[in-house]
Structure 1
Amino acid sequence: MANPRQRRKARSSSHRPVMHSRSAKRNLKKTPTIRGPKALQEVWDKRRTVKQNYAALGLAHTLNPGGTENRPAEAAESEIQPGQQRILPEYETDQLPIPCGFGRIIRDESGNVVCIGINEDSNQNSPDKRDVSLDMRQSEPLVDAEVLAKWSMDENTHTMGTSREKSNQDVMHALKQLSTPQTALNILSFSLSGMGPRRPSTGEVAYLQRLVDKHGDNLAGMAQDHRLNPEQRTIGQLQSSLHRLGLYG
């Protein structure tokens, strides 16, 4: 049963019990701690987004470059509604070249066919008479420099059409060193918790030596010897252990 003070608080229009909600929203807006290498944390700018930080380092924030192209302003204005036809001006249609094997239908204002334009040089430039020793660069389509810069990869900088500074090169070098797998060739010492070289103990050497003294190279007899092989090692286990010690084969 509520006391009178709680009843007045419930009837009051000025009381809004949302303090806990405000603190919860404030905690949600906090930027999470960066879980990454120390070299990346030092150059990370908290005032920028992930995309902006990656761009400052010369990295691509995603492998899909879609959505990063600058859409021309006139593209929105020249959107064609469904069921409509786009009529090019005369200067555009006249300047467009006619490909080999194709023609251009010329109509009047009412839509009637006036004549058909055909490329007269199509017979002369047939594939039989073309020079096969043309440079491959001449056959490539013309690409805008801005589009080429976005989609091309610079071999020296390894960035998408941009160059990075010397500090960014140091960061990239540190990240490459961290991503290199740890082996005995690139580090002085490494953990042997996983697969790695193992040296047999003194007890294992004595265990195998007794089997060799009695059975020689008979691995099947070693595996069936319950007195000298109480661990019940298989033929394959005994063979690998003896190979490691140089006592077999």
Structure 2
Amino acid sequence: MATPRQRRKSRSSSHGGPSARSKKAAVKKLKKPAPTIRGPEILKEKWDRTKTVRQNYAALGLVSSLQIHQSGGYDRDDPYNKSTYPSATSNETTAADDVQKDEDMTENSASGSKPADKGKGKAVKKGMARIIRDAEGNVVHIIEADDETDAVYESTASTAPLKPKRKGKDKDKKKDVSTPWGQPLNDSDDDFAFEDPTGGTRQLTKEERAERDRALHLPVAALSAPTGLNAAAAKNASAASLNAAKLHSALDSLAGELSVPVPRFTSLQEEEWLRSLVAKYGEDYEAASKDRKLNIWQRTPGEIKRAVRKAGGKQALFLV
């Protein structure tokens, strides 16, 4: 336990700092080598000791965790950061804004007035609305965010009451819900099933699976390079995806070679125990299970029968 004098020495600027022994221990701790990678030789060759485990998994095209949603925030340089991939809903939002803008322009041209709202191109936040007025200040159009009613309110004059106008959408139709932790999972057991607007189901294409992975914030390392990168970065990304694909095929072949059923055998003590039961009761496993002296582990008739079968049968027990 340190004394007050030693504490003052450690806080004092005139003191020579930590002792030589503590310095040596700190340097030794900093120069501690990385742990030995234990695994297949394929992964050992591709493993980069200068990167973290998460970065290595991303470079190899693997997922570092089986959890679909990230529990917590992402680092700016995190390889699984969703900002590094194009948003799955960016095109849809732009198209919706263009349609809304065209509708506003059509209504304004029909009424012969120009709206005074300058921010009509921006999306309306949930729980808020945008009021569009003409040059005289009369309410021409009210745009609300998509909610349960999904209504658009219109007015032809400032004195006329506002009436809701349905867009024709079904109220019971399931809507896309965007949550901070990602899109909700589909109730279907088939991960690759897609609800066709015609009412049936079909298999997702490669592009649709990529959009789904981006929406779920999953790594898309094996796909083509995201848009917005220059030619050199796109070339490097394609080369990395090709290496990841080769690594995946090598790991699959290795897993196929190692997926051999493990032979099971009966221990010597278990053979003696089964031999005593079979010698006394034969194939009457119901009576053997009720013997309190021999069946001290209270095995059920089914367990005793399976143990005899695993040992090779009644004949194999008495061949020894």
Provide the TM-score with structure 2 as the length reference: 0.37
State which structure, 1 or 2, has the greater radius of gyration over its C-alpha atoms. Answer: 1
Provide the TM-score with structure 1 as the length reference: 0.44
